[in-house]
């Protein structure tokens, strides 16, 4: 859905905002004509009938995410929380149905690609300097599937499509040159209430186990392990990826979590982020994580 078609976060937000104003719903044709007026559409190949592909794919995506219901007509589903913004609703279902779904029912490649990218850690710097979209697609297919996946393989078009979503989902940011830098700060921040489950602190190992459960695309999670199987990733090394290391340090500096890292800890190591010296961060191996932002 997200890597094959022209669906963007803003188009989905606009659709949801429109339907929020029409509680009884709208017909599919009304939605198509509103989102993509016929006069602005190119004709279908071999006919004079205009294509409204973008509008159709956007409505289809909203239905797949179960934020919209109906076939000939469409209205917001009960899964849409009207107390929240459309962006908040969209982020919630994307977390649930795309980033956390180890069966890939809605979208196959987004979480897998991000997990693969995250697992590259510092190697990604040189790769971004030299790789084209075609090279990235080839390396991903080889690195994740050993080039064994024959149907619907990852390709440059999918690579371009999914990059519309990575920043929006809080999985990183784009530097001035346009290169994507992995840092799942916002994604992890959204998951912290679930990770801590009402507790105020966890051991470093328990924190990472729960992180892997609720964010399976991050270090140690099922999707992360699947994406990095051919990279010979080992959870036993307890080395946080570069992206996760940055997210943990940023959450610490923003006083959302506190990190207890005594020099004798054998916990997970976030030294790849090169954290600044601190009286509290005497080491880089996590013994305990305290949820300060949850108070």
Q: Which pLDDT band holds residue 177 (cuts at 50, 70, 90)? A: confident
DSSP per residue, 208-226:
HHHHHHH-TTSTTSHHHHH
Tens-digit pLDDT profile for residues 105-135: 999 999 999 999 999 988 888 888 889 999 9
Helix axes 185-196, 242-253, angle to 10 degrees: 70
Q: Which residue has the higher pLDDT, 4 or 143?
A: 143
Which of 101, 116, 185 lies closest to 146 in space, CA to CA? 116
Structure tokens at 162: 């999914």
Q: DSSP letter at 224?
A: H
Task: Give 73-85 pLDDT, tens digit per residue.
Answer: 999 999 999 999 9
Domains and CATH numbers, the chain: 9-80 (1.10.10)
Q: 25-44 pLDDT, tens per residue?
A: 999 999 999 988 877 776 66
């Amino acid at each position: 859905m997200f890597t094959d078609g022209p669906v963007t976060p803003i188009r989905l937000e606009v659709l949801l905002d429109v339907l929020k104003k029409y509680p009884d719903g709208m017909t599919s044709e009304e939605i198509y004509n509103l989102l993509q007026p016929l006069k602005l559409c190119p004709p279908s190949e071999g006919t004079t009938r205009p294509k409204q592909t973008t509008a159709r794919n956007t409505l289809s995506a909203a239905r797949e995410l179960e934020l919209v219901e109906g076939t000939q007509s469409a209205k917001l589903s009960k899964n849409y929380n009207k107390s929240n913004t459309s962006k908040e609703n969209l982020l919630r279902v994307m977390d649930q149905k795309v980033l956390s779904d180890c069966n890939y029912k809605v979208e196959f490649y987004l979480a897998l690609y991000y997990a693969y990218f995250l697992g590259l850690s510092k190697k990604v710097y040189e790769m971004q300097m030299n790789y084209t979209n075609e090279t990235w697609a080839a390396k991903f297919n080889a690195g994740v599937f050993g080039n064994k996946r024959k149907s619907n393989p990852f390709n440059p078009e999918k690579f371009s499509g999914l990059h519309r979503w990575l920043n929006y989902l809080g999985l990183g940011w784009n530097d001035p040159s346009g290169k994507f830098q992995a840092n799942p700060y916002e994604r992890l921040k959204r998951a912290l209430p679930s990770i801590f489950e009402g507790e105020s602190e966890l051991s470093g190992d328990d924190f990472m186990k729960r992180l892997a459960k609720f964010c399976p695309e991050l270090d140690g999670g099922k999707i992360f392990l699947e994406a990095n199987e051919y990279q010979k990733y080992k959870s036993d090394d307890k080395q946080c990826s570069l992206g996760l290391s940055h997210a943990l340090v940023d959450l610490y500096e923003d006083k959302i979590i506190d990190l207890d890292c005594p020099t004798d800890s054998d916990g997970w190591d976030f030294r790849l982020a090169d954290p600044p010296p601190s009286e509290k961060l005497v080491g880089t191996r996590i013994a305990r994580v305290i949820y300060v932002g949850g108070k």
